[in-house]
Amino acid sequence: MIRNPQVAIIILNWNQYEDTSECLRSIGKMRYENYRVIVVDNNSSDGSCERLEGEFRDVIFLKNSDNLGFAGGMNMGIDYVLKNEFDHVLILNSDTVVSAQLLYRLVDLCGSEKEIGIAGPVIFNYYRPKEIDYAGGAVHLRYGRIKHLKTIPRNSSPFETEFMTGCCMMIPVPVIKECGIFDSDLFLLCEDLDISLRYRNRGYKIFCDPKAVVWHKISTKINRRIGYYFWFRNILIVIKRHSQSLHFLMGALKIVCLNAVKCIITSLFKGKFKEAGSVLFGIRDFFRKNYNKGSLDKIL
């Protein structure tokens, strides 16, 4: 085990000066010192990147000429990390505030077992600080169910879980080199589920530490049309990729016949026809293998 491993914290910024600056200030209060912050800007148009550069001089800024989505943006940061001397990567949403002990706890957890491929915190709602948003994840692909667990085990010790949310996850660099980065075909949503399942299939474990804490604003900046489109397309991609044929059929039928129909009917009832259309576009693009940004321009 490396003493005092160096951590690269990767944050994605896209027109979010207020959120990103608050996140960076909270990082500055952490008790762990051997880290560097990398902000990847996804072609912001509001001047937020320039403002952040002027205020946070110790932060490394990488700028994309296009919006590469969550997966592509984070991959740009990871590529930088792999070319430099880092031991761990912390993927962190910009709309979060971190606890002072976050890095210390996750670095210690990653070093406790060589089989740990991903480590993460318990995540609370920023606006309702005692409300848990994530305390481990449950995956039932054959039923098309992905669930954030909301209860912390009584003993408060680190515990194994089935997937880690991309809101905050730490990955040892050797594991990334062995198992790969995010799938840029997914662009947005479900990339955390995919990488979790991929790492588990390679024999690695995923652990959550209740004493490592993050508060998440649970961003409302993704409009519902975009959310519906990418979720329905990507969840079908992930289920097909990580399931046997029969289990994929079961999960896909549940998602299309229950979840999708419910969203479509609800949207139509409210007169939000473009929302209903985005569900159909997502399902269609899954079958057409229209990945990455897909039909994003058509649903906006």
Query: DSSP secondary structure string, 245-297?
Result: HHHHHHHHHHIIIIIIHHHHHHHHHTT-HHHHHHHHHHHHHHHHT--TTTTHH
Per-block mean pLDDT, blocks of 10 residues, the chain (300 long): 88 96 97 97 96 97 96 98 97 97 97 96 96 96 92 90 97 98 97 98 98 88 89 97 93 94 96 96 97 93
Q: Does domain 7-216 have CATH number 3.40.630.10?
A: no
CA distance 13 to 233: 24
pLDDT of residue 2: 67
pLDDT of residue 223: 87
pLDDT of residue 54: 97
pLDDT of residue 153: 85
pLDDT of residue 1: 58
CA distance 140 to 145: 5
